[in-house]
């Protein structure tokens, strides 16, 4: 026991904050002890952030967001196409943008694209910016564990009366209907209920920032209760205040943080509505990021009326591009195994002179065996003169001798046969649809053709519903859905339950898997790419989900390997 007590409260492990920066007016080695980091020319402060803060050292956390890069690319694309956008000037009350948010049509939209956010948006029905601020803040572990989500939504929808805990808290809690969601509100509550001064409120802020020190939290709570006793605050109200603050300490954050995130969420939603082609290209060129794979982004783009054209060595740039208001072209960067230098060499050679044949392409670009195979498999060589289809391109590409195989080093590429595109070739059959699908996923991890479920649909009973059919089914009706797994989640706040999202040719359907059902079928749910799920339809505010009763693997003719968002 004495050993336990002596180590209690010590750090469990050491971690490095790659975005934490310390600013000093003198050499840091004269202020704090330093050590060399693993990365060359990097130094790490040996004190933790709390000790640095206690000493008064200025520390700045830099948060890198992929969405900012995607939005910057989107804006630059709009400007280059003669349709400039100034994000500082976009309408802040755009009806079409809020309509899309209310529909939870938010694949690719910053911060509100998760399953939980999509389930909440139709209940929240944001119609102004501060609604989005609350939406960003409320779907987090703290509000969920603290039981704040449902009371707020019920109050917002008129199903529950607004309760401020104490009337004195109304100025602090009125904008969130009596629910303390933000750090600033918690500090105001402490100042009102316990007459905390600035330094005491700062002590409370530091204690609840990450709730890492139970001892510090208990000391502050004891001070808070003692101060409330002196003010003769009722015991019940004290308990509600303390419970609210304790719940908030689980990943709650400042209102300023939520406002900043909501600004990015709104701007990305506006771009998706009004500049969809540029928006999706910006997302694709900045992967990996966000909640969904490139394949789901491509399918979502198509659901929004965009045409996505495949990789083509005769027209594709290194990055994805916008060919017209409703047409996207995949870039060479989407092809697996294609080296960036090879892609740049391809563009340079194509700019110098068009490729006369596949042989001409191979001689001038000099792709490796793996590179030319993947380009042929995904159909990127089909538009070269003398090439008729993917398997024909594969055959021609294999006729070339890879210098790496002969000499162990790269020199030049030569051909075994004359450079005549009309030379006789074996009459190879075209790939069928299954083979093309398999080749697309092997070489791109996505397809610009029909969704895999479109091929499988005819083999399924008519009783298996599509995602688009679910809004028309009756609540509590036993239904069956099928699709490609794009998300598996088991949040710590879900008490062992699992959430699964399936994608089919019409959209995304969601299933709630109770803990016992998951434990019984955990291998199938965790490892299979396609699932068949049967359960009862649940509907709330036009959001449907399946309460799972039975799960089966769905065999597929082609092996589709696809990255899903699993248990993050």
Q: Please, what are the domains in the chain? A: 2-61 (no CATH), 67-256 (no CATH), 306-443 (1.10.150), 452-566 (2.40.50.140)
N-terminal to C-terminal alpha carbon distance within the chain: 36
Do the beta carbons of residue 438 and residue 390 sit within 8 Å?
A: no
User: CA 34: distance to chain centroid?
Assistant: 35
From the list 41, 43, 46, the residue with the least C-alpha distance to 14 is 46
Strand-pairing partners, residue 414, are 401
Residues with Cβ < 8 Å from 494, sequence gap 6 or more? Answer: none
Beta strand 327-329 with 414-415 is unpaired
Cα 489 to Cα 498: distance, rounded to the nearest angstrom: 6
The residue ranking higher by pLDDT, 401 or 310, is 310
Q: Is the pLDDT of residue 29 over 90?
A: no
Cα 294 to Cα 297: distance, rounded to the nearest angstrom: 5
pLDDT band at 559 (very low <50, low <70, confident <90, very high): low
From the list 400, 107, 394, 388, the residue with the least C-alpha distance to 273 is 107
Place of tokens 């939980």: 116
> Average pLDDT, whole number, for the chain?
85
The residue ranking higher by pLDDT, 296 or 167, is 296
Residue 410 has what pLDDT?
47
Residue 141 has what pLDDT?
67
Q: Is the pLDDT of residue 565 over 80?
A: no
C-alpha angle 101/104/109, rounded to 5°? 70
Q: Contacts for 400-406 with beta carbons within 8 Å, 24 or more apart?
A: 400/359, 400/362, 400/372, 402/368, 402/369, 404/368, 404/369, 405/369
Residue 291 has what pLDDT?
84
Determine the average pLDDT of the residues in 256-261.
Answer: 92
Residue 107 has what pLDDT?
94
pLDDT band at 41 (very low <50, low <70, confident <90, very high): confident
Residues with Cβ < 8 Å from 257, sequence gap 6 or more? Answer: none
Cα 80 to Cα 72: distance, rounded to the nearest angstrom: 12
Residue 413 has what pLDDT?
46
Q: Is the pLDDT of residue 462 over 60?
A: yes
Integer CA distances (angstroms), 4 to 1, 13, 216, in order? 5, 16, 18
Q: Contacts for 563-568 with beta carbons within 8 Å, 24 or more apart?
A: 563/293, 563/445, 564/293, 564/485, 564/486, 564/487, 564/488, 565/291, 565/292, 565/293, 565/486, 565/487, 565/488, 565/489, 566/487, 566/488, 566/489, 566/526, 567/488, 567/489, 567/490, 568/489
Supply the pTM of this predicted model: 0.84
Place of tokens 């929004």: 304
495-552 pLDDT, tens digit per residue, is: 788 999 999 999 999 999 998 999 999 899 988 889 999 999 998 877 889 999 999 9
Strand-pairing partners, residue 546, are 511, 537
Residue 187 has what pLDDT?
82
Helix (H) or strand (E) holding 61: strand 58-61
Integer CA distances (angstroms), 234 to 166, 192, 237, 243, 294, in order? 10, 14, 5, 14, 55
Determine the average pLDDT of the residues in 252-280.
Answer: 93
Strand-pairing partners, residue 415, are 400
Compute the residue count for the chain.
568
Q: Is the pLDDT of residue 567 over 60?
A: no
Q: Is the pLDDT of residue 137 over 50?
A: yes
97-133 pLDDT, tens digit per residue, is: 999 999 999 999 999 998 889 989 999 999 999 999 9
Cα 146 to Cα 185: distance, rounded to the nearest angstrom: 15
45-58 pLDDT, tens digit per residue, is: 888 777 787 777 88
The residue ranking higher by pLDDT, 16 or 534, is 534
Residue 558 has what pLDDT?
54
Residue 358 has what pLDDT?
92
Determine the average pLDDT of the residues in 190-212.
Answer: 74
Q: Is the pLDDT of residue 217 over 80?
A: no
Cα 331 to Cα 315: distance, rounded to the nearest angstrom: 9
Cβ count within 10 A of residue 568: 10
Q: Is the pLDDT of residue 566 over 70?
A: no
Q: What are phi and psi of 328, to 5 degrees?
A: -115, 140
Residue 415 has what pLDDT?
45
Do the beta carbons of residue 244 and residue 180 sit within 8 Å?
A: yes
pLDDT band at 374 (very low <50, low <70, confident <90, very high): very high
Do the beta carbons of residue 343 and residue 375 sit within 8 Å?
A: no
486: left (phi over 0), alpha (psi -120 to 50) or beta: alpha
Q: Among 84-88, 251-255, 376-380, 442-446, which is the least confidently predicted range?
A: 251-255
Residue 98 has what pLDDT?
97
DSSP state of 35: E
Residues with Cβ < 8 Å from 372, sequence gap 6 or more? Answer: 362, 381, 397, 400
Cα 316 to Cα 79: distance, rounded to the nearest angstrom: 20
- Please spell the DSSP secondary structure of 488-503, one letter per residue: EE--GGGTT-EEEEEE
């Amino acid at each position: 026991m004495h050993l336990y007590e002596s180590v209690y409260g010590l750090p469990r492990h050491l971690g490095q904050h790659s975005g934490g920066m310390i600013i000093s007016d003198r050499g840091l080695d004269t202020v704090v002890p330093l050590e060399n980091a693993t990365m060359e020319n990097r130094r790490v402060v040996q004190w933790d952030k709390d000790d640095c803060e206690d000493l008064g050292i200025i520390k700045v956390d830099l948060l890198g967001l992929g969405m900012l890069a995607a939005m910057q690319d989107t804006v630059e694309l709009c400007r280059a196409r003669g349709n400039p956008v100034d994000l500082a000037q976009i309408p802040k009350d755009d009806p079409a943008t809020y309509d899309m948010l209310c529909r939870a049509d938010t694949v690719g939209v910053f911060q509100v694209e998760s399953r939980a956010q999509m389930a909440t948006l139709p209940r929240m029905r944001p119609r102004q910016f501060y609604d989005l601020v609350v939406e960003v803040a409320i779907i987090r572990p703290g509000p969920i564990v603290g039981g704040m989500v449902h009371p707020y939504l019920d109050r917002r929808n008129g199903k529950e009366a607004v309760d401020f805990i104490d009337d004195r808290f109304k100025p602090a809690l009125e904008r969130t209907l009596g629910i303390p969601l933000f750090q600033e509100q918690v500090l105001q509550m402490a100042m009102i209920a316990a007459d905390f001064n600035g330094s005491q409120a700062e002590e409370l802020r530091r204690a609840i920032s990450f709730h890492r020190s139970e001892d510090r939290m208990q000391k502050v709570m004891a001070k808070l209760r003692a101060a409330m006793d002196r003010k003769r605050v009722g015991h019940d109200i004290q308990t509600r205040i303390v419970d609210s603050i304790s719940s908030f300490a689980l990943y709650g954050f400042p209102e300023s943080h939520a406002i900043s995130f909501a600004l990015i969420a709104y701007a990305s939603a506006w771009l998706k509505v009004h500049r969809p082609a540029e928006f999706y290209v910006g997302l694709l060129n900045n992967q990996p990021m966000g909640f969904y794979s490139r394949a789901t982004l491509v399918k979502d783009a198509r659901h929004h009326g965009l045409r996505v054209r495949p990789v083509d060595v005769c027209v594709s740039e290194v990055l994805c591009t916008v060919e017209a208001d409703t047409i996207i072209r995949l870039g060479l960067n989407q092809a697996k195994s294609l080296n960036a230098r090879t892609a740049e060499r391809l563009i340079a050679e194509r700019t110098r002179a068009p490729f006369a044949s596949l042989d001409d392409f191979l001689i001038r670009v000099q792709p490796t065996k793996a590179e030319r195979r993947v380009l042929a498999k995904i159909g990127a060589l089909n538009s070269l003169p003398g090439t008729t289809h993917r398997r024909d391109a594969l055959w021609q590409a294999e006729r070339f001798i890879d210098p790496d195989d002969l000499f162990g080093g790269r020199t030049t590429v030569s051909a075994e046969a004359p450079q005549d595109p009309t030379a006789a070739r074996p009459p190879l059959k075209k790939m069928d649809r299954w083979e093309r699908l398999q080749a697309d996923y092997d070489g791109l991890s996505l397809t610009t053709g029909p969704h895999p479920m479109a091929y499988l649909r005819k083999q399924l009973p008519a009783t298996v519903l599509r995602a688009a059919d679910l809004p028309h089914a009756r609540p509590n009706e036993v239904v069956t859905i099928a699709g490609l797994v794009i998300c598996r989640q088991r949040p710590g706040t879900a008490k062992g339950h699992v959430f699964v999202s399936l994608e089919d040719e019409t959209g995304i359907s969601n299933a709630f898997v109770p803990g016992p059902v998951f434990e019984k079928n955990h291998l199938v749910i965790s490892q299979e790419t396609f699932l068949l799920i049967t359960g009862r339809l649940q509907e709330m505010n036009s959001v449907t989900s399946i309460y799972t009763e039975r799960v089966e693997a769905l065999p597929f003719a082609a092996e589709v390997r696809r990255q899903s968002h699993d248990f993050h």
